[in-house]
Structure 1
């Protein structure tokens, strides 16, 4: 049955304050089916997702290395409902690490993992996620690279930080992510900004209630700057996850004020967004890492990218109209 797409696109790109709506849609199976079937979706997905298989993502790692860039690789997929699926996610990362080892790409590519993929939301999820992620961290360490634990919604963070602390006992370079829109994050940053730590700061991309998170963009940005200062003045290794030119410039100045050399922190941006800026920062001597997602279960990741920036919504809308 033909479903007219133009009314959908008009709503999708014209209604103000769409971020929360799109984030809610990211959890909808009905919307997942609709978006997946929409003409033009693949064109937009290909902008943000670097392929579906290891074979497709490896050339992108090689290309990035040739441009002086590093990558962090994310095998997308979050809706895990069985222990077997969590084990499959673990095995997907182990396959990726083995391929990086064969090609001697370990030092250029770290892993980013969401503990929800490793069974965190299942019964005994904390223990299950730790048991599944540990072999990935161990395998990454063996080829000279690291793993960073991504931050998800606020209900998962105590478990994530506890797993991070446990992993660092044997693998001290294991990193974690903090989100500036959460009220708790400044305290987390002070605790984490210790010698040997690796901490990525991002704004946050999940729908969170006003009881735990800033809702105003200006307040989120102010918190981002305060947290970046804490990390730069600390003894750990800050990873600045942002595409915002103003926040990037502020981070550079905070690094200078803290007496940091350019290789004592890094910038991180998403694959498919501001690619010229990736190269520019690397050419200036900064460490620049591209967050590169791949895999078949792309829907949740894709919807968060649409929610983050209106231009992404417009790009999607134009693609659907062109194909519809």
Structure 2
């Protein structure tokens, strides 16, 4: 947990960001978790995954935007992404994920309203082409704003999805509120450095909270999206689906791009709906550091790459 907290803290340090991003050897490890820096790179990944029966949610990387023009560039990047996806005719097999902080949520004045109006055209475009948007969840300070944005957008676009982080104390109540018909909820453990006043600090407590939230969502009439690479969690999700007679099309497993790809293909072949979270873009540093924090083995792989760089 000490290493994890250090890496999560590092994800917000501009000085370290310059060192990591500027090191050519970093690219070898980043390529494991990020589809590429361009839209064309992302489309290559979409085609490859789709040919294996794996659905996708695409994330144009970026967060913590405090400039309105930059937030609008994020909006435009997503509109270009949806325009490029339309000819593939994948429908909801290719959706997008958006961080409201990349849309100006953190602006000192009017950030929430500006972010909602920035993301709205993307949600409208997604609906028009038969797919949808999931609002990524960020640190605990943004939860109320993000859930309020969700409620607003779902009035006209009920397929808009949300993410809940099991590590937060509040999440069981949020899961109960969102476990309703038509609601799409991705449940994850959480990848932010949260204080003990709002979040579980021990792995066993986070795991237990995840199990409780998973049961709430799988029992309800909504559409659960089980965000986990943990074999025990995946097995438990299948058990709950069987217990509650859930059709295969009424829930899904989500895994990150580049993590357990063989298992993603195996599950999809066996009839489980599997969706890969596919990030792309030049602003990959914070996302990359959170992936290192999730598994110590990733840190070792990264350090070995730096040592053996050509």
Q: 1:47 aligns with which of 32, 40, 47?
A: 32
The SS at the match of 2:2 is coil
Deviations 1:205-264 (A, max 9, x none): 000000000000001001101000000110100000000111111111111112212221
The equivalent residue for 2:174 is 188
CA distance in 2, matches of 1:39, 1:107: 36
Native 8 Å contact 1:107 1:143 kept in 2: no
Corresponding position: 1:34 with 2:42: no
Q: CA deviation at 1:39?
A: 4.0
Query: Match of 1:57?
Result: 42
With structure 2 as the length reference, what TM-score do the two structures score? Answer: 0.98
Once the 2 structures are TM-superposed, how far is the Cα of residue 37 of structure 1 from its aligned partner?
A: 2.1
- The answer to whether structure 1 residue 247 and structure 2 residue 229 are counterparts is no
SS of the residue aligned with 2:197?
coil
1:114-152 alpha-carbon deviations (Å, 9 max, x no partner) = 000000000211000000000000000111101000110
Distance in 2 separating the partners of 1:282 and 1:262:
11
Partners of 2:90 and 2:238 lie apart in 1 by: 28
Is structure 2 residue 83 aligned with structure 1 residue 98? yes
300, 303, 308: which one pairs with 1:317?
303
Measured on the aligned residues, the alpha-carbon RMSD in Å equals 1.0
SS of the residue 1:227 aligns to: helix
Match of 2:123 in 1: 137
Deviation at 1:81, TM superposition (A): 2.1
What is aligned with 1:10? none
**Preserved CA contact (<8 Å) 2:57 2:277:** yes
C-alpha separation in 1, matches of 2:288 and 2:84: 25
TM-score (norm 1): 0.94
Q: How many aligned residue pairs are there?
A: 309
Structure 2 residue aligned with 1:153: 139
- Of residues 99, 103, 115, the one that matches 2:100 is 115
| Counterpart Cα distance in 2 of 1:103 and 1:145 | 12
Work out which of the residue numbers 144, 161, 178 in structure 1 matches 2:164: 178
1:256 equivalenced with 2:242 (yes/no): yes
Could you tell which deviates more after superposition, 154-163 or 249-258? 249-258
Q: Against the structure 1 CA distance between its residues 208 and 174, is the aligned structure 2 distance closer, same or farther, given a 3 Å change threshold?
A: same
Equivalents in 2 of 1:180, 1:20: separation in Å? 17
How far off is 1:105 after superposition? 3.4
Per-residue deviation, 1:313: 0.6
1:21 and 2:10 aligned: no
Which piece of structure 1 moves more, 37-46 or 218-227?
37-46
Query: Over residues 20-48 of structure 1, what are the superposed CA-to-partner deviations in whole Å (9 max), with x where a residue is unaligned?
Result: 00000000011101111234100001111
Q: How far, CA to CA, are the matches of 2:249 and 2:88 in structure 1?
A: 25
Which among 279, 284, 292 is matched to residue 293 of structure 1? 279
CA displacement 1:65-90 (0-9 Å, x = unmatched): 11111000000011312100000000
Moved more, 254-263 or 197-206: 254-263
Shift of 1:178: 0.2
Distance in 2, Cα, partners of 1:308 & 1:176:
21
The farther-off stretch of 16-25 and 40-49 is 16-25
Tell me the equivalent position of 1:7.
Answer: none
Matches of 1:208 and 1:59, distance apart in 2 = 35
Mean CA deviation greater in 51-60 or 164-173: 51-60
Runs of 4+ off more than 3 Å: none
CA contact (8 A) 2:39 2:81 kept: yes
The SS at the match of 2:308 is: helix
1:305 aligns with 2:305: no
